[in-house]
Amino acid sequence: MRILFDPIRDGLSAIETASSQFATAQQQVASGKRLAGAGDDPLAMQQAIGERATIGALDAYSRANQSAASRLAAIDSVLSGMTDKLTAVSVAGMSARGDHVTPTARAAAAAEVRSLRDALLADVNSSFQGSYLFAGTHVDRVPYADSGGTWTYQGNADVTRVDIERGRSVAVTVDGQRIVQGSDAEDLFTVLDNLATAIENADGAAIQTGLDSVERAFVRTQHALGSLGADERNLDDLASRLSTLRRAAETRRSTLEDVNVAEAITRLGQADTSYRAALAAVSTAERQSLLDYLR
């Protein structure tokens, strides 16, 4: 059976094909995207959606990492300041020991200890973005308060944790009592109250007892700083890893979704040429006369 070439029918089909190719190439050049919808490439679209979900999860972990890093930096600053103040308390207490110390010097040393107590209390009661850092999970409560002449811890022993990647979290608050009191019978603020009184009374034994307690508080603070430093280093390492993973996921997504602009421009030119050629062919066919067919 002979299949005749119909210049009008086949020409119109060629125009439609070229027009579709031109529109697709034009859309890709204008948008920079290879995929305009799932129909363009269902498998690639499904993979691209998966990569976008991965990028979203990585971005969420990065934000959590940055938030945790900011909180840990605030805690680090507070603890560093506390070590300096505890050192100053020790110096004030040691300067008040001995029979040669004058009453005036003792009064000055006692006042210094009480001033440092107030400063340490302010440190422990520090907050970050409206949340107390040293109250465990009770972030809405002032950690330490003077209740009827007794220093009371109003936080708890738990800590608030933030997920920084799948299956991994970091503590962003501290159990303040572990630092302020630990396993001692009295909290640091009571110790400092008693130390100031001992200095005023020239009670050498009580001064030494107070200094020993201050030293233990110093050790607890240093231990907390060491643990905190390890967490901060881990966050730095994680931030770098999350950034690397995101770049890799973004590259994969771009390969699936984004168009090669140079290639798209080339295809646009080719589609335009095909479209014009098809139009010209149909136009020529329409100008043929009956006499042309009889020849």
Give the length of the chain: 295
Instruction: Report the C-alpha gap between 181 and 178 in whole angstroms.
Output: 6
CB-based contact 203:158 (threshold 8 Å): no
Give pLDDT tens digits along the chain (295 positions).
444 445 555 555 656 666 665 666 556 666 566 666 556 678 877 888 899 899 999 999 999 999 999 999 999 999 999 999 999 999 999 999 988 999 999 999 999 999 999 999 999 999 999 999 999 999 999 999 998 889 999 999 999 999 998 889 999 999 999 999 999 999 999 999 999 999 999 999 999 999 999 999 999 999 999 999 999 999 999 999 999 999 999 888 888 777 655 666 666 666 667 666 666 665 665 555 444 555 5
In the beta sheet, which residues pair with residue 192?
none
Structure tokens at 9: 């029918």
CB-based contact 208:198 (threshold 8 Å): no
Instruction: Report the C-alpha gap between 82 and 217 in whole angstroms.
Output: 10
pTM for the model: 0.74
Q: How far is CA 39 from the centre of its chain?
A: 37
Q: How far apart are the first and last CA of the chain?
A: 23
For residue 282, the tally of other CB atoms under 10 A from its CB is 19
